[in-house]
Structure 1
Amino acid sequence: MAKTRPTDASVPEFLDAATPARRVDEGHRLDAIMREVTGVDAVMWGPSIVGYGTYHYVSPSTTSRTEGDWPKVGFSPRKSAISLYGLKDLPEGAALLPRLGEYTEGAGCVYVKRLEQIDEQVLRQLIRIAFARPDDPRH
């Protein structure tokens, strides 16, 4: 994660270029939901992640400690699935996640094939939980 940083790239242009075509609509819908819930505008993180807010993370590993900045919550409208970031990182989010709807999990994200297959109210709760995390866990 440490190599991915905020950029000045245009979020709307990135979302408009998503494929397949339904990802364009889903991306704009997710952006609207996340802006509404978080109260902040999106920033592109690297070439493909739309992020909201920032927090400083420190890995728990004692052998290969890494740290850096990462969006509190974000997504990427990828071809095969929408990747959602930050929703399962905190215990409250992990506990609520099973109520989201149809999804699969990766190491740090949640994959959704279609936005209509998930419960928008649960998604909004998950976004609120993720966005409420402290900016710097050391404080």
Structure 2
Amino acid sequence: MEVFRKGDEVEVRSKEEGFLGSYYEATVISQLNGNTRYKVQYKNLVEEEDQTRPLVEIVSADEVRPMPPRTVGEATRIFYYLDKVDAFDNDGWWVGNISGKQGSKYWVYFDTTQDEIAYPVSQLRNHLEWSNGKWVSSK
């Protein structure tokens, strides 16, 4: 299991109903219980009571992964039919498949919700899985 330190930028997988499989960018604030849990502060999620304050949460280590590598030329990327991608929506990254292209936008189909939504290329990235300490392409 990966060990993260204070200040590391990570992504946290949601286990909440309706958000399963989505990932949210966060920074590790501290390690807890011998690295089995982490206290994180989210980049885009805010507290319900005070929407000006970033959400801070304690999450289990199996919900945390490093930030995926950025790829050169992300803004000019081309996707193809059925490519597995992550789409940035509702403050997090959601896994889907390219289902079409219209103008400069790509349509993404999400198995979990049966939704099909159009996104600009700036809100899409190639889907990668974190497996055995390495990023693995889904292709």
- Per the normalisation by structure 2, the TM-score is 0.29
- Per the normalisation by structure 1, the TM-score is 0.29
Larger radius of gyration: 2
Task: Give 1 or 2: higher strand fraction.
Answer: 2
Task: Give 1 or 2: higher helix fraction.
Answer: 1
